């Protein structure tokens, strides 16, 4: 210890003693993702110039990263002493694990690999004041006065990831983002100890990677003439009339890949096949089955122009892969495989010939032939393939890794066949879905994936045994960008959900706790502010639920952050600091409009929560459904269908809607007493692009007070593009005859297997049902 340091220590100790009220009580640091174990020790490491940093080539990437990080803003003078020291520790089991020991005059980073040490550095980074992020922490000599800020609490952290694959995906085909932004995206991935960037480079709406042998990919496939304005469901479709596009040159790709390597992030490129290929086919029509000249797609969805299975296509794809392979050191190449309608293959002579000569059963086996042939080629070049779970269709290519996105069924199937799996189910990993029910949210594709749901994701499907679970490599957050044209908007969709995902893939289940997590998010947001990263902030929003106890109904409010005070009104009037303070569930006896918000001592912190309870005759009564809602869309349970609250029009995943996959339903509402009932209303979601189809037929049965029954059959017109289909039924009663009803039964027939020519053809349709309003 240098003489100077001893003096500093003495000054510091006398400072602490001189102002007792300032004695600092150590808190567990607010690190995201939360480490495996952290122990607080006495004392501080003072950030005091000069600071020694020493490491050798074993820790080149992590050491260089820390050096650069500390030198932002030029406040810290680094020497090559060993105040901060990197040690090789072969006893650490997990190659990505590390130990970080903060001592009064030393910081020791121990790891078995540079990557492990890199994650220690990311933890250390979060122990420093946020201002270090942009070098605006200007005066480290102030450390003596602000022990909490510029000195680090002594502690020991031992840490390692739960999963080896920790990914984030970005679609640059629907909208493209600058190289600088892609690097910032990689920065965020690395900061959160994630290690994979899945770069979705080609799709129907644009081909974004330079392939020198095929110049028309750059000239034609990289540009679309115009783009759909607003949401796909807005009718009629309107277009902006502006040419849109661009591509990354191979030099830019190399630059991005090298940048990612300098942060221990692997870049997996995705070249989509055989579907989502319309951009490529627009440049080289011969690659399709019909030879037709098609445009680069200008709207979103699934397109029938897919790669033909003729040899010319394979020649093209092999040439493309020959240029892609040397750019990406990654073991994996993602070959897409999703959403390939077989319409053209069915009527294509060459594809039908291929089916015959290869002895294939049908077009699904042809899909398998396609993927397996590409896999063989890539394996021969030392690469492995990953594909979306449709690659299970017609048999799985021998060495393929499956990316399970349509729920977890694909994952279970693949793991049971001893194939590796990466989990990205739409229900928990699609960051293009809405994250709040707030009507002011920017437009999103649909769905509903709030922070808490991401946080609660367990990548291991419950159907798997411990042995089979080993095939689950990890999980990934996906960002499809149909509705995300700007970089700010990308950040908004990604943050804070990426924070939750980082903890899903890194932290042990027993260390996870949502209440504690959101507090850490609140703290982390300060770092994002300094980093100038845009994020959605729904931390100060409120949630509510109707509860029924002993035949009485109450409304319960919850704040995301438990330490905040909720104020509310019940007459729809604006909420302010003079409104009621919420202390216990509010009795509800009539239709009510609740407004509520979280305030600190002087101002409102978040958006105003507003909920309308439409008090109808079934509210709080008994309801049973013969099927359990799908676990990803179980809302607030069957009771949610008679809680007086309707779901939002666009967010079928909110807690008021219930989702069932391919099942017929019987719903019984027991009113408990005979009532005069005239109408039954409900709604079904019908967003066919997401395989949600309103049912065509519903049978209604009413049991009257004398035990007799009234029945009726209702036919719904679901063959249109309305997102929501209403059922609005008035009970036909003979004139002047009052009838009393005690039980209502609805038998809802699922739409069935989705027919050819419709989105999701061949799949089971989803049924989504909202509030059943009885009056
Ligand atoms: C799916 C498509 C994707 C689209 C996204 C939107 C996969 C594997 N495929 O329909 O092209 O952008 O959903 O959420 O996700």
In this prediction, residues 326-342 reach a mean pLDDT of 97
Nearest to 324 by CA among 168, 195, 217: 217
Nearest atom of ligand 1 to the alpha carbon of 432 = 14
What DSSP string describes 118-161? HHHHHHHHHHS-GGGGGT----GGGGGT-HHHHEEEEEEEEE--
| Banded model confidence at residue 141, pLDDT cuts 50, 70, 90 | low
Tokens coding 289: 């089955």
Residue 321 parent element (H or E):
helix 311-324
Most confidently modeled of 130-134, 325-329, 764-768?
325-329
- For 178-204, the pLDDT digits (tens) are 999 999 999 999 999 999 999 999 999
- 654: Cβ below 6 Å to ligand 1? no
pLDDT number for residue 137? 79
The answer on pLDDT for 146 being more than 50 is no
- Give distance in angstroms: CA of 688 to centre of ligand 1: 13
pLDDT number for residue 139? 62
For atom 9 of ligand 1, the residue with the nearest CA is 338
The answer on pLDDT for 15 being more than 60 is no
For atom 5 of ligand 1, the residue with the nearest CA is 480
- Going by their DSSP bridges, the two strands 51-54 and 78-88 should be labelled as parallel
The answer on pLDDT for 80 being more than 50 is yes
- For 642-657, the pLDDT digits (tens) are 999 999 887 777 889 9
- 771: Cβ below 6 Å to ligand 1? no
| Banded model confidence at residue 26, pLDDT cuts 50, 70, 90 | low
- 432: Cβ below 6 Å to ligand 1? yes
Nearest to 444 by CA among 505, 489, 380: 489
Mean pLDDT (the chain) is 92
- 339: Cβ below 6 Å to ligand 1? yes
- Please report how the helices 497-506 and 487-494 are oriented relative to each other, as an axis angle in degrees rounded to 10: 50
* Segment 519-524 long-range contacts (CB within 8 Å, at least 24 positions apart): 519/30, 519/561, 520/30, 520/31, 520/32, 520/34, 521/32, 521/451, 521/496, 522/561, 523/30, 524/30, 524/32, 524/126, 524/496, 524/499
The answer to whether the CB of 715 falls within 8 A of the CB of 736 is no
In this prediction, residues 740-744 reach a mean pLDDT of 93
> 668 forms bridges with which residues in the sheet?
624, 745
Counts of helices then strands in the chain (DSSP H, E): 19, 37
In this prediction, residues 250-276 reach a mean pLDDT of 98
| Least trusted range by pLDDT, from 115-124, 383-392, 677-686, 721-730 | 721-730
pLDDT number for residue 12? 46
- Give distance in angstroms: CA of 275 to centre of ligand 1: 12
The answer to whether the CB of 181 falls within 8 A of the CB of 534 is no
pLDDT number for residue 145? 43
Length of the chain: 775
The answer on pLDDT for 10 being more than 80 is no
Nearest to 167 by CA among 369, 357, 395, 429: 429
Query: In this structure, what is the dihedral angle of CA atoms 199, 202, 205, 210, given to the nearest 10 degrees?
Result: 100
φ, ψ of residue 598 in degrees (nearest 5): -95, 135
Q: Where are the beta strands (DSSP E) in 522-664?
A: 542-549, 552-559, 565-569, 580-581, 586-588, 592-599, 609-613, 622-625, 658-661
pLDDT number for residue 144? 44
- 388: Cβ below 6 Å to ligand 1? yes
pLDDT number for residue 148? 43
| Banded model confidence at residue 28, pLDDT cuts 50, 70, 90 | confident
- Give distance in angstroms: CA of 471 to centre of ligand 1: 24
Pocket test for ligand 1, best of 231, 338, 392 (most atoms within 8 A of CB): 338
- Give distance in angstroms: CA of 85 to centre of ligand 1: 46
Q: Residue 316 and residue 133: Cα distance in Å, rounded?
A: 45
Quick one: what percent of the chain has pLDDT higher than 70? Answer: 94
Higher pLDDT, 28 or 677: 677
- 445: Cβ below 6 Å to ligand 1? yes
| Least trusted range by pLDDT, from 11-15, 54-58, 310-314 | 11-15
pLDDT number for residue 16? 43
Q: Which residues are catalytic?
A: 203, 276, 339
- 522: Cβ below 6 Å to ligand 1? no
pLDDT number for residue 723? 84
Higher pLDDT, 472 or 18: 472
The answer to whether the CB of 312 falls within 8 A of the CB of 284 is no
Higher pLDDT, 524 or 606: 524
* Residue 533 DSSP code: -
Pocket test for ligand 1, best of 339, 424, 426, 428 (most atoms within 8 A of CB): 339
pLDDT number for residue 149? 52
Most confidently modeled of 88-92, 393-397, 700-704?
88-92
The answer on pLDDT for 19 being more than 60 is no
- 480: Cβ below 6 Å to ligand 1? yes
- Give distance in angstroms: CA of 721 to centre of ligand 1: 19
Higher pLDDT, 136 or 116: 116
CA 5, distance to chain mean position in Å, is 47
For atom 6 of ligand 1, the residue with the nearest CA is 480
Among left, alpha and beta (phi > 0; psi -120 to 50; other), residue 279 is alpha
């Amino acid at each position: 210890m240098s003489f100077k340091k001893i003096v500093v220590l003495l000054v510091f100790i006398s400072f602490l003693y001189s102002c007792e009220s300032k004695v600092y009580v150590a808190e567990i640091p607010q690190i995201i993702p939360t480490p495996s174990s952290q122990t607080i020790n006495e004392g501080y490491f003072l950030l005091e110039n000069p600071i020694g940093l020493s490491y050798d080539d074993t820790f080149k990437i992590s050491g260089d990263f820390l050096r650069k990080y500390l030198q932002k803003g030029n406040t810290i003078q680094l020497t090559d002493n060993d105040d901060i020291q990197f040690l090789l520790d072969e006893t650490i089991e997990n190659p990505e694990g590390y130990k970080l020991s903060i001592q009064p005059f030393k910081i020791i980073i121990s790891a078995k690999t540079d990557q492990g040490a890199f994650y220690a550095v990311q933890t250390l980074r979060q122990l420093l004041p946020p201002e270090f992020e942009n070098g605006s922490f200007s005066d480290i000599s102030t450390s003596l006065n602000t022990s909490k800020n510029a000195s680090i609490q002594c502690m020991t952290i031992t840490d390692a990831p739960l999963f080896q694959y920790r990914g984030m995906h970005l679609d640059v085909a629907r909208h493209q983002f600058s190289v600088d932004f892609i690097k910032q995206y990689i920065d965020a991935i690395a900061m959160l100890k994630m290690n994979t960037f899945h770069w979705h480079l080609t799709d129907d709406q644009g081909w974004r990677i330079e392939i020198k042998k095929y110049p028309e990919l750059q000239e034609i496939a990289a540009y679309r003439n115009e783009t759909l304005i607003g949401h796909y469901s807005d009718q009629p479709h309107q277009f902006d009339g502006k040419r849109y596009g661009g591509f990354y040159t191979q030099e830019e790709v190399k630059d991005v890949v090298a940048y990612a390597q300098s942060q221990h992030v692997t870049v997996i490129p995705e070249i989509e096949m055989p579907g989502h290929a319309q951009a490529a086919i627009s440049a080289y029509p011969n690659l399709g089955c019909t030879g037709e000249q098609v445009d680069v797609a200008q709207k979103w969805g699934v397109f029938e122009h897919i790669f033909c299975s003729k040899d010319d296509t394979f020649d093209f794809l092999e040439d493309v892969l020959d240029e892609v392979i040397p750019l990406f050191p990654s073991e994996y190449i993602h070959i897409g495989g999703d959403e390939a309608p077989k319409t053209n293959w069915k009527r294509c002579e060459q594809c039908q010939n291929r089916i015959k000569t290869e002895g294939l059963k049908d077009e699904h086996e042809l899909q398998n032939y396609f993927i397996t042939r590409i896999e063989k080629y890539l394996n021969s070049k030392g690469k492995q393939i990953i594909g979306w779970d449709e690659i299970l269709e017609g048999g799985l290519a021998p060495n393929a890794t499956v990316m399970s996105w349509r729920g977890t069924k694909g994952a279970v199937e693949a793991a049971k066949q001893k194939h590796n799996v990466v989990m990205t189910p739409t229900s928990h990993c699609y960051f293009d879905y809405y994250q709040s029910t707030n009507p002011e949210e920017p437009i999103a594709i649909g769905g509903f994936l709030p922070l808490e749901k991401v946080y609660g994701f367990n990548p291991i499907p419950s159907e798997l045994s411990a042995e089979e679970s080993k095939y689950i490599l990890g999980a990934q957050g996906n960002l499809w960008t149909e509705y995300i044209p700007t970089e700010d908007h990308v950040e908004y969709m990604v943050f804070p959900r990426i924070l939750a995902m980082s903890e899903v893939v890194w932290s042990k289940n027993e260390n996870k706790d949502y209440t504690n997590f959101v507090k850490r998010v609140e703290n982390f947001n300060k770092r994002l502010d300094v980093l100038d990263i845009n994020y959605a902030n729904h931390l100060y929003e409120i949630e509510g639920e109707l509860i029924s106890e002993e035949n009485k109904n109450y409304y319960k409010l919850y704040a995301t952050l438990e330490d905040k005070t909720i104020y509310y009104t019940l007459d729809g009037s604006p909420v302010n600091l003079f409104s009621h303070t919420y202390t216990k569930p509010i009795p509800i006896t009539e239709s009510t409009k609740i407004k509520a918000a979280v305030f600190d001592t002087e101002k409102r912190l978040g958006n105003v929560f507003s909920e309308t309870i439409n008090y109808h005759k079934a509210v709080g009564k008994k309801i049973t459904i013969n099927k359990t809602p799908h676990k990803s869309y179980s809302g607030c349970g069957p009771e949610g269908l008679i809680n007086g609250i309707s779901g939002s029009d666009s967010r079928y995943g909110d807690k008021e809607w219930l989702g069932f996959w391919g099942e017929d339903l019987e719903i019984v509402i027991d009113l408990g007493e005979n009532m005069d009932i005239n109408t039954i209303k409900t709604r079904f979601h019908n967003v066919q692009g997401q395989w949600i189809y309103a049912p065509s037929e519903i049978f209604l049965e009413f049991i009257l007070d004398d035990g007799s029954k009234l029945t009726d059959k209702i036919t719904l017109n679901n063959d249109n593009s309305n997102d929501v289909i209403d059922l609005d039924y008035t009970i036909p009663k003979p004139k002047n005859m009052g009838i009393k009803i005690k039980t209502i039964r609805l038998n809802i027939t699922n739409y069935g297997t989705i027919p050819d020519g419709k989105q999701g053809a061949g799949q089971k349709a989803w049924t989504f049902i909202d509030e059943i309003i009885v009056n």
